[in-house]
Amino acid sequence: MRMRKKKNLDPRMEACAALWVRDPAGMRGRWRELKPDAKALRLELGCGKGRFTAGTAAAHPEDLYVAVERVPDAMVTAMERCRDAGLANVFFIDGDAAALSDCFAPGEVDLIYINFCDPWPSVKHAPRRLTHQNFLRSYREVLRDGGEIRFKTDNRALFEWSLFQFPKAGFELSQVTRDLHAAGVQGIMTDYEEKFHAQGVPINRCVGTKIELPDVPLPQGLAARLADWEVRPVTEEDFSGVLALEERCADFFALGGWTVTADSLRRDLAALPPKCAPSQKHFLALRREGAPRAVLDVVEGYPRPRTLYVGLFLLEPELRRQGNGRAIVSALLAAAKEAGFDRVRLACLLDNKAGHAFWTAMGFADLRWDTLLGEDARPVWIMERAV
Ligand SMILES: C[S@@+](CC[C@H](N)C(=O)[O-])C[C@H]1O[C@@H](n2cnc3c(N)ncnc32)[C@H](O)[C@@H]1O
């Protein structure tokens, strides 16, 4: 929502000081101190000018209500509405919904409202939608088990897309309707809702209830996070492409004194740490423009059941130093967590200074020196990080 910069914004904000929480991170885990008898903590994301905020807080005086809005010009109107209505159970955060976990402790929130969030229609902007699974996963962190997200929108395409996001983020859907007010106005309307309803636009609504998040298989979790890449297991079809990539990454193999050949690649595709089964291994090609431009070889459950072991990560030389390596490893860490692992481990050749700096920057710490197992014994740093 674009708004003109309001005149007198600062004095108007100051006049609402009693409702405005300027240090929300300082309230993390302590919000109920603002209303010790609160039955529940309700949170609204992107409250805009606050018609719904004021109406809902007034309708539920037994609950504590916190509204988040990143545009102060809109928020000030919402605060004034609540102040003028004499509401004592509602507070405002002038901030971004992306930072909820900095402001609320795990399980501190009972209910989240998302009303008429910006639709960001272009596919490349989908991660900015407040109902994107990454956002929903971050709301999970602050919602109690069984807590709810109540979502309303006039935008049918956003709604249908969101219905797929909720289950992916561990929310069970209920009360799904594509015409909320078909039989007369239901509940409290927001400013946008009132406008759309008056124009005859049907309002979509659903409720997502937080349930246990099922473990997602690692390759799927990785693919879901790497929208710019096609992630798939290396098969015969990819063999020559992966071999060519390894040849272009000869600098890395030279550090270990290895020469890349079709035989060495076939050996690596089958190689397993001790006592591991082939089903634990994923040798993945990350493709762009129809060819493998990165590879990841990971082994699940080595050396401990909840550790993911990275045997190899190679990135096309011309795609390095542009944030691609960081993006892939960040996605791997998140996918590892989602797949139920709590640590990621790897071995970095002692002579691989650039590699060591990269993994250190990605949060990995040296555990000890060791030598790679097998005939290829080489000195390595064993590095690990929690996820
Ligand atoms: C389309 S308006 C809807 C306002 C209100 N919920 C309503 O239904 O009338 C979306 C609002 O969400 C706010 N917003 C968008 N993204 C946000 C974010 N990441 N964090 C906080 N507020 C956000 C915008 O500034 C805007 O005020």
pLDDT at 363: 98
Q: How far is the CA of 96 from the centre of ligand 1 (A)?
A: 10
Test site for ligand 1: of 49, 71, 73, 204, most ligand atoms within 8 A of the Cβ = 71
> pLDDT per residue over 332-348, tens digit each?
999 999 898 999 999 99
Distance 130 CA to ligand 1 centre (A): 9
pTM of the model: 0.66
Considering only the top CATH level, what class is 9-210?
alpha beta
Which residue of 5, 45, 68 sits with most ligand 1 atoms within 8 Å of its CB, as the best mutation to test the pocket? Answer: 45
Best probe residue, ligand 1, of 94, 103, 116 (max atoms within 8 Å of C-beta) = 116
pLDDT at 374 over 70: no
Residue-level pLDDT at 212: 86
Calpha distance 342→331 (Å, rounded):
15
Q: Contact at 8 Å (CB) between 293 and 274?
A: no
In this predicted structure, what is the pLDDT of residue 2? 45
Separation of CA 246 and ligand 1 centre (Å)? 47
State pLDDT tens for residues 303-334.
Answer: 998 899 999 999 999 999 999 999 999 999 99
Which residue CA neighbors atom 4 of ligand 1 most closely?
48
Find out whether the beta carbon of 190 lies less than 6 Å from any atom of ligand 1: yes
User: What pLDDT is stored for residue 4 in this prediction?
Assistant: 54
CA of 353 from ligand 1 middle (Å) equals 46
44 CA closest ligand 1 atom index: 6
Query: What is the average pLDDT score of the chain?
Result: 94
pLDDT tens readout for residues 85-128: 999 999 999 999 999 999 999 999 999 999 999 999 998 899 89
Ligand 1: which atom is nearest the Cα of residue 74? 27
DSSP, collapsed to helix, strand or coil, labels residue 93 as strand
Please tell me if the CB atom of residue 194 comes closer than 6 angstroms to any atom of ligand 1: no
pLDDT band for position 1 (50/70/90)?
Answer: very low
24 CB less than 6 Å from ligand 1? no
Res 146 pLDDT > 90:
yes
Instruction: Give the span between the Cα atoms of 378 and 31, in whole angstroms.
Output: 54
Question: 218-386 has which CATH code?
Answer: 3.40.630.30
Residue minimizing CA distance to atom 14 of ligand 1: 46
Across the range 253-264, mean pLDDT stands at 92
CA 327 to chain centre: 13
The total number of residues written for the chain in this structure = 387
Sheet holding 143-153, edge to edge: 90-94, 64-69, 41-45, 109-115, 143-153, 204-210, 171-177
**Residue 20 per-residue DSSP state:** B
Q: Tell me the mean pLDDT in the region 76-92.
A: 98
Q: What residue segments make up the domains of the chain, in order of their start?
A: 9-210, 218-386
The answer, yes or no, to whether any atom of ligand 1 lies below 6 A from the CB of 77, is no
192-237 pLDDT, tens per residue? 999 999 999 999 999 999 998 878 889 999 999 998 899 999 999 9
Tell me how crowded residue 319 is: count the other CB atoms within 10 A of its CB: 15
Q: What is the mean pLDDT of residues 247-275?
A: 93
Is the Cβ atom of 191 under 6 angstroms away from ligand 1?
yes
Torsion (CA) 345, 350, 351, 356 in degrees, nearest 10: 40
pLDDT digits (tens, 9 = 90+) for 12-66: 999 999 999 999 999 999 999 999 999 999 999 999 999 999 999 999 999 999 9
Band (167; pLDDT cuts 50, 70, 90): confident
Query: What is the token pair recorded at 123?
Result: 């596919």
Q: What pLDDT is attached to residue 134?
A: 85
CA 179 vs CA 47, 121, 171, 196, 208: distances in Å: 22, 21, 22, 12, 17
Percent residues over pLDDT 70 in the chain: 97
Please indicate whether residue 355, judged by its CB atom, sits closer than 6 Å to ligand 1: no
